[in-house]
């Protein structure tokens, strides 16, 4: 037993981040071995049934462990494995959750558990918001992106053929359980994509965190528990701090989209699914930082540091050429139709001195110059 403990690496103590949203407040637990620990779920409202919603990739890896933990708490635990992938974040697949709930005769106390990445989390959260006008739900995120971003903040929803995340609701979970052990099975490319959302928190809010990432990047990519625990906790704290001030995105919350305006143009321009979202955000943050520098808000030393960090995370730092004739024009066109644009004016999240973000419209000529210089 002693030898097993010594070789399994250091288990950091479980951390807790509180999301303070008045009566919708909830805890995020972060640590090792949490998924199968029944004690984590003990504080939830009593119910006669729970439904675990997951997908066909995650189910064989983790569903039984969660089911075993929940079986001591709920008389009945149902399991639903949806098809895997962003194309299934749609009405038809969402309806499978309602089908299961109704076929099992689930009442309005039934607790939904979202076990998976952001796709499962967004869909399950939206189903919970809608079923009988709202049932409790719990996020058990199993991707890095979901642990540091999508499971925090209460945005839920699905895609429409005419736009991503266009149908949805703000609906907060009762609890988030981030089991760092689940990240061991995550493909390297997905892990790096999640790191993009971790890195963004430094430049917009906390340069001490950026310093720490520079030191801890190798340990993170080796998925060392202590490093993961710190990265996930600090990311959740910063997102919680922002969401706590602007739950429904009337202003400040938009700073979380650092790198995303360029990133969305890359995703849309290449065709969704070519680059992962986090990869597009990686290259997008480089362009947004360069734009900040062109406007005199940060210096070259800062942008070079950020580029190096993004590179070390295993992410692309050069944005792709989307159009051989008028590349900058194509980027501008795609960015103008972005959901975050207002009346055709693109509002960029810029770094206003390291550790601080600002939203600003920028003259096209300056944006063009940065795109022309920054695309591979
Ligand atoms: P994802 O949910 O598609 O997961 C990525 C892949 O990893 C999938 O194939 C999944 O089955 C697999 N996977 C999940 N956990 C695994 C594990 N532990 N081991 C092995 N494989 C595993 O993608 P994602 O990056 O987690 O989330 C992206 C989604 O999140 C998008 O739909 C996006 O719109 C949404 N999102 C929402 C918010 C929000 O605030 N609600 C924020 C950011 C992103
Ligand atoms: Mg994102």
| Band of residue 341 on the pLDDT scale cut at 50, 70, 90 | low
Residue with structure tokens 């959302």? 197
Does the structure show a pLDDT above 70 at 119?
Answer: yes
Q: Check residues 216 and 273 and name the one with the higher pLDDT.
A: 216
**Average of pLDDT values for 289-311?**
98
Whether 28 lines ligand 1, by a CB cut-off of 6 Å, is no
* Measured CA angle at 219 (ends 188, 27), to 5 deg: 85
Whole-number pLDDT of residue 6: 40
Element (H or E) spanning 28, and its range?
strand 26-31
Does 304 qualify as catalytic in the annotation? no
**Average of pLDDT values for 324-346?**
86
Q: Check residues 180 and 162 and name the one with the higher pLDDT.
A: 180
Looking at residue 375, what DSSP letter applies?
Answer: B
Does 24 qualify as catalytic in the annotation? no
User: Rounded CA gap, 215 and 212, in Å?
Assistant: 5
Whether 55 lines ligand 1, by a CB cut-off of 6 Å, is yes
Whole-number pLDDT of residue 227: 98
- Choosing from 253, 293, 330, 347, which is the catalytic residue? 253
Whole-number pLDDT of residue 247: 82
**Average of pLDDT values for 156-160?**
97
Atom of ligand 1 nearest to the CA of 276: 25
Whole-number pLDDT of residue 337: 84
Whole-number pLDDT of residue 345: 85
- The angle, 0 to 180 degrees and rounded to 10, between the axes of the packed helices 300-312 and 207-221 is 20
**Average of pLDDT values for 125-143?**
98
Helix (H, G, I), strand (E, B) or coil at 78: strand
pLDDT (tens digit per residue) in 165-221: 999 999 999 999 999 999 999 999 999 999 999 999 999 999 999 999 999 999 999
**Average of pLDDT values for 115-119?**
98
User: Rounded CA gap, 135 and 188, in Å?
Assistant: 35
| Band of residue 251 on the pLDDT scale cut at 50, 70, 90 | confident
Does the structure show a pLDDT above 70 at 10?
Answer: no
Whether 366 lines ligand 1, by a CB cut-off of 6 Å, is no
Neighbours of 8 (CB within 10 A): 10
Does the structure show a pLDDT above 70 at 4?
Answer: no
Does the structure show a pLDDT above 80 at 342?
Answer: no
Ligand nearest to the CA of 172: 1
Whole-number pLDDT of residue 11: 77
Whole-number pLDDT of residue 340: 66
**Average of pLDDT values for 236-242?**
95
Residue pair 19/26 in contact (Cβ under 8 Å)? The answer is: yes
Measuring CA to CA, how many Å separate 74 from each of 47, 53, 55, 321?
6, 15, 21, 53
User: Rounded CA gap, 37 and 30, in Å?
Assistant: 12
Whole-number percent of the chain with pLDDT over 70: 96
Does the structure show a pLDDT above 80 at 5?
Answer: no
Closest listed residue to residue 371, CA positions, set 324, 335, 319: 319
**Average of pLDDT values for 119-130?**
98
For ligand 1, the distance from its centroid to the CA atom of residue 170, given in whole angstroms, is: 18
pLDDT (tens digit per residue) in 50-65: 999 999 999 999 999 9
For ligand 1, the distance from its centroid to the CA atom of residue 120, given in whole angstroms, is: 7
Residue pair 287/319 in contact (Cβ under 8 Å)? The answer is: yes
- Residue 79 C-alpha from the chain's centroid: 24
**Average of pLDDT values for 79-90?**
97
Residue pair 141/147 in contact (Cβ under 8 Å)? The answer is: yes
| Band of residue 141 on the pLDDT scale cut at 50, 70, 90 | very high
For ligand 1, the distance from its centroid to the CA atom of residue 289, given in whole angstroms, is: 26
Q: How many residues does the chain have?
A: 376
Ligand nearest to the CA of 284: 2
* Dihedral, 278, 282, 288, 291 alpha carbons, nearest 10: -160
Whole-number pLDDT of residue 9: 58
Q: Which residues contact 20 (CB under 8 A, 6 or more apart)?
A: 240, 244
Task: Using most ligand atoms within 8 A of CB, pick from 61, 88, 90, 145 the residue to mutate for ligand 1.
Answer: 145
Whole-number pLDDT of residue 344: 72
Closest listed residue to residue 123, CA positions, set 162, 79, 71, 169: 169
ipTM over 0.95: yes
């Amino acid at each position: 037993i002693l030898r097993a403990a010594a070789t399994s690496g250091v288990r950091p103590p479980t951390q807790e981040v509180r999301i303070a949203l008045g009566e919708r407040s909830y805890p995020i637990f972060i640590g090792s071995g949490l998924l199968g620990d029944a004690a984590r779920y003990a504080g939830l409202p009593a119910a006669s049934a729970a439904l675990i919603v997951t997908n066909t990739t995650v189910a064989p890896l983790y569903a039984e462990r969660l089911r075993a933990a929940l079986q001591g708490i709920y008389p009945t635990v149902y399991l639903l494995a949806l098809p895997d992938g962003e194309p299934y974040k749609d009405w038809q697949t969402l309806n499978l959750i309602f089908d299961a709930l109704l076929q099992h005769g689930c009442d309005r106390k039934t607790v939904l558990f979202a076990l998976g990445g952001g796709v499962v989390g967004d869909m399950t959260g939206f189903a919970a918001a809608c079923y009988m006008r709202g049932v409790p739900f719990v996020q058990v995120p199993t991707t890095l992106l979901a642990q540091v971003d999508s499971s925090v903040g209460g945005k839920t929803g699905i895609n429409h053929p005419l736009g991503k995340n266009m149908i949805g609701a703000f609906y907060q979970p009762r609890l988030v359980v981030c089991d760092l052990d689940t990240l061991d099975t995550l493909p390297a490319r997905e892990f790096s994509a999640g790191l993009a959302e971790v890195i963004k928190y430094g430049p917009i809010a906390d340069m001490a965190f950026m310093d720490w990432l520079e030191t801890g990047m190798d340990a993170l990519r080796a998925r060392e528990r202590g490093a993961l625990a710190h990265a996930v906790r600090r990311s959740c704290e910063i997102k919680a701090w922002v969401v706590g001030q602007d739950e429904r995105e009337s202003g400040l919350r938009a700073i979380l989209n650092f790198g995303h305006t360029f990133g969305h143009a890359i995703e849309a321009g290449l065709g969704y699914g070519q680059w992962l979202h986090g990869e597009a955000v990686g290259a997008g943050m480089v362009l947004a930082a360069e734009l900040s520098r062109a406007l005199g808000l940060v210096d070259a030393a800062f942008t070079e540091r950020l580029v190096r960090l993004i590179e070390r995370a295993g992410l692309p730092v050069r944005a792709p050429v989307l159009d051989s004739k008028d590349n900058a024009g194509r980027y501008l066109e795609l960015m103008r139709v972005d959901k975050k644009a207002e009346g055709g004016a693109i509002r960029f999240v810029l770094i206003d001195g390291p550790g601080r973000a600002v939203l600003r419209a920028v003259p096209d000529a300056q944006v063009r110059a940065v795109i022309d210089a920054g695309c591979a």
